[in-house]
Amino acid sequence: NPIIDIEDVSFSYRETHAPALNHISLAIGEGDFLGIIGPSGAGKSTLAACLSGAIPHHFGGTLYGAVHVADKDTCEVTLTDISRIVGSVLQDIDTQMVASVVEDELLFGMENFGVPHDKIEQRLSEALQTVGIANLRDREIATLSGGQKQKVAIAAIMALQPRVLVLDEPTAALDPASSLLVFDTLAKINREQNVTVVVIEQKVALLSTFCNHVVVLDNGKIALEGTPHEVFSHA
């Protein structure tokens, strides 16, 4: 079974508005590195919200179809249950992060999740190492670069050991070199921890280099889907 199965999903934020997602069906395999691309307003963030359970649990609106995450229907389980499977890094990481020092950001999430005390230090250091920021452990988050902040947000999620990592334009505010480092980190997590990665990204070169599966969204629909080669040689 796919780790995420989206079956004929349509979603409107308000009854009267055009659907943000319009008959989307998509199977995401365990271990996939999926890239989602498309113009502004295409529905990319809305699709990410369906994977993280923010839709239907947080946003109001009308949802048709079903999203299964690790064989659970997201409508039938709590947001907390979903968050133990899918970790997400939002577009605006400054609003997502709650602590002022890097290690506290990771500790906060783990305490929230009820990670046993004798496991916390090991998970903390492993997550920092996986993401390559062990040296930033005691730093004030406010003093970090955009790329370093992205990595802190990713490490904080990784400490919670999700099976799927969803990121909404993690490179939007980054220069090309930092963008590449963030994708290198995602590739390492995907390869070494077998975490399924779903990333919204506008840079074709990054998707071509790192993804095995690409979806082009346009106007709430899947315009193209396949390997990067299939999708981008079409364009």
Residues within the interface to ligand ADP (CB under 6 A): 13, 20, 38, 40-46
Q: What is the CA radius of gyration of the chain?
A: 17
Burial of 58 (0-12, 13-18, 19+ CB in 10 A): exposed
Name which of 44 and 151 has its Cβ closer to ligand ADP.
44
Closest CA to 63 of 14, 28, 2: 14
Q: Would you say 9 and 50 are in contact if contact means Cβ atoms under 8 Å apart? A: yes
Name which of 91 and 212 has its Cβ closer to ligand ADP.
91
Name which of 120 and 172 has its Cβ closer to ligand ADP.
172
**Least Cβ distance, residue 129 to ligand ADP (angstroms):** 31
Name which of 40 and 135 has its Cβ closer to ligand ADP.
40
Q: Would you say 71 and 17 are in contact if contact means Cβ atoms under 8 Å apart? A: no
**Least Cβ distance, residue 1 to ligand ADP (angstroms):** 26
Between vectors from CA 97 to CA 188 and to CA 33, what angle results, nearest 5°?
25
**Least Cβ distance, residue 13 to ligand ADP (angstroms):** 3
Name which of 48 and 128 has its Cβ closer to ligand ADP.
48
**Least Cβ distance, residue 133 to ligand ADP (angstroms):** 26
Instruction: List b or e across 31-41, with b for residues whose CB sees 16 or more CB atoms inside 10 angstroms.
Output: ebbbbbbbeee
Strand partners, 213: 34
**Least Cβ distance, residue 35 to ligand ADP (angstroms):** 13
